Amino acid sequence: MKLDFCVLCGTTENLHHHHVIPKAQSGTDDEDNFITLCYDHHAMIHSISPSKFNQMQVLAAIGRESAMKRGVKFGKKPQYEHFYPQIIKMYCEEWKGYGTIAKELGTGISRQGVRSIVKRLDIKNKRNPKTLFKTYKQNKRTGQYKLF
């Protein structure tokens, strides 16, 4: 029941709606599952019979777990997603290292950032076979060819 006063002391300031059956125990947001309490009495109710459902950290952990089951993702969103095709090409086809890729992109991304993207994309072992020697030159003095 939602009221405009605390059911214990009658004050009308700092009101909270307390779930009689916690949401973590399948409680609902129906009006018959609420009582209206002031801040002090709400804190007192949560300290009277300590259980795992009276601890906000436990309730928050249960809420996060159920949200993750529903598919909600937590944490920082991946950055530099628009560079993924370039990073894949440079890493897998051109055999460039993390530092070289970071320098050539020139966007403030670090070597470690490129490394974490390669790990996130799971392309570490998907490089094309490396051509060992791309060009060769003839030494004019000796006439021998040197591979590069």
Of the candidates 69, 96, 115, which is a domain's last residue?
69
Task: State the residue for tokens 């089951």.
Answer: 69
Residue 137 lies in a domain: yes
* Whether residues 51 and 101 fall in one domain: no
Q: Are strands 136-138 and 15-19 parallel, antiparallel or unpaired?
A: unpaired
The C-alpha atoms of residue 148 and residue 145 are separated, in whole angstroms, by: 10
* Whether residues 91 and 133 fall in one domain: yes
* Whether residues 84 and 115 fall in one domain: yes
Q: pTM for the whole thing?
A: 0.41
* Whether residues 60 and 90 fall in one domain: no
pLDDT < 70 regions, the chain? 1, 24, 49-56, 130-136, 147-148
CB burial of 104-130 (b: ≥16 within 10 Å; e: otherwise) equals ebeeebeeebbbbbbeeeeeeeeeeee
* Whether residues 44 and 81 fall in one domain: no
* Whether residues 147 and 83 fall in one domain: yes
Residue 9 lies in a domain: no
Name the residue range of residue 43's domain.
Answer: 15-69
Radius of gyration from C-alpha coordinates of the chain: 31
Residue 81 lies in a domain: yes
In this prediction, residue 57 carries a pLDDT of 72
Domains identified in the chain, total number: 2
Residue 19 lies in a domain: yes
* Whether residues 116 and 86 fall in one domain: yes
Of the candidates 28, 44, 69, which is a domain's last residue?
69
